[in-house]
Structures are given as structure tokens and as C-alpha cells.
Amino acid sequence: MAVKLEALLFDVDGTLADTERDGHRVAFNQAFTEAGLDWEWTVDLYEKLLAVTGGKERILHYLDNYNKEFKRPEQPEQLAAFIADLHKSKTKHYTDLLKTGAIPLRPGVLRLLNEAKQAGLRLAIATTTTPANVSGLLKNTLGEDGESWFEVIAAGDIVPAKKPAPDIYTYAMEQMNLAPEACIAFEDSENGILASQGAKLKTIITINGYTESHDFSGAVIVLDSFGEPDQPFKVINGSAFNKEYLDIEMVIQLHEQK
């Protein structure tokens, strides 16, 4: 007998909103300029950097692989502090950007969240982005009480190992006292689905421009968006049960399928 669906677990960047290219990337560049650095993360370079999850980890990866000539602090603790300061500045620029309304939710997200609430389903966030980024996005798209829509917001460094490790999903389910069989995850990237599947979660994928070539083997369905009644989704892989947009009925059907 199938376990009843109780909770929806959402990634944030690229899943709830298309935040990467015109959000986080822009904020990183603003932070670099503010710090007097001549670094610029172009659209193409940022696509490569997205292979690494976590902003501080991404800066270190950039220095190790794309900017080896930069004279970095020699002591590990000084390098860590330098990166942390840059990332703190980047977070401020990103949250300021969110306040302008420049980064809306992706099509179908608000409708699906409302449907889930009305159906009595529990909601949680499982992301590698910092809590301030999550808070800023939710407040500026769902309203001042946006964070309260989610029972658990698992974000940032709350677990030591970031995606593709499954830890953030495992943590969220532990906080909700739920087994993976009672949940379904929503992701947009290969690192994301590796994390959700590592936590034994069925996973719905919505791709974006940065992730359309990723490997989503094992996803219950791969879509270009959640879609709307007047803005149908495109099914890339899987069965949509003759639906044209993702609603809670379809989510439950995807959760129940073998």
C-alpha cells in the first residue's frame, strides 16, 4: 500500500525563482567591485561555477581553478575570513536586489504553494543558499509572512555537507518527523537531484537555462516549468497524466506512481 503524501520539499535557487543568472551572479560581481577586485563572473563562467554548491565554496573554487594568479591571503584562516567577507557583501547586494522586485517566482510556483496549503500538505525548504537569501526571496514574493508558509527552512550551513550530499534533505525530514516515502522533492539541477535521491526522495524537476543539459535520471518527471492554465508546461521526460500544468492532483499522482 502506497504511503500518503504529506509534505513538499522545495529547493530555492532555480526552482522557486530563476535567481542565478540575474540575481546571485550580479550580486557577486557587485561585491567584487565593492571590494576593489577586478573579477567579473560572466554568464558563461557562472554556469561552470554552478557545478559547486554554496557561495563561499564557489569563490574558493574560482580562485583554485580560474584565477590562480590572484595573490590570496596565505594563512587558511585569513583566506576563509576574506572569502566570508566577500560572501557577506554579496548576500547584502542580493537581498537589496530582491527588494526591487527584480526576481519573481517562476510560473506556477505561487499557485502550487497555495494549492498545497489548501490541501493541508506540509511545506519545507531544503537549500544550500544562505538563510538571508531565502528570507529575502520569500518576503519579497509571498509577503512579509512568506517564511511562515514553510514549516522548516533548512538552508545554508545548517548541515556541513552541501548538495550533492543528501544532508539538507535528511535534516528537513528529521525536523518534520517524516519518512522520505511521505515526501516529494522539487529540484532544478543535477546536484539537487543527487541530493534528493540520496535522501531517498521522489523528485520533480523543473529545468532552467543553466540546467537544461543536466542528467536527471530517476526523476519522476522533468518539466520546463510548473506551468499555468494559460501557460502550459513542456514535458521533457515522464508522464504528465494529460495535464498541461502542475497541480496538487498531479503531484500526488507522481508521488504514487511506481
Catalytic residue among 11, 18, 167, 188: 11
CA atoms within 13 A on the CB side of 3: 12
CA atoms within 13 A on the CB side of 236: 21
**Alpha-carbon torsion 21, 80, 172, 255, what sign?**
positive
Look up 64 and say whether it is catalytic. no
Comparing CA positions, the residue from 102, 104, 98, 113 lying closest to residue 226 is: 113
Strands 152-154 and 122-126: parallel
Could you give the CA distance from residue 111 to residue 244 in angstroms, rounded to a whole number? 14
Could you give the CA distance from residue 21 to residue 19 in angstroms, rounded to a whole number? 6
Look up 215 and say whether it is catalytic. no
Give the distance, in angstroms, between the CA of residue 218 and the centroid of all CA atoms in the same chain: 19
Q: Do the Cβ atoms of 28 and 205 come closer than 8 Å?
A: no
Could you give the CA distance from residue 170 to residue 130 in angstroms, rounded to a whole number? 18
Neighbours of 201 (CB within 10 A): 25
Give the distance, in angstroms, between the CA of residue 93 and the centroid of all CA atoms in the same chain: 18
The amino acid present at 72, given as its one-letter code, is R
Catalytic residue numbers? 11, 13
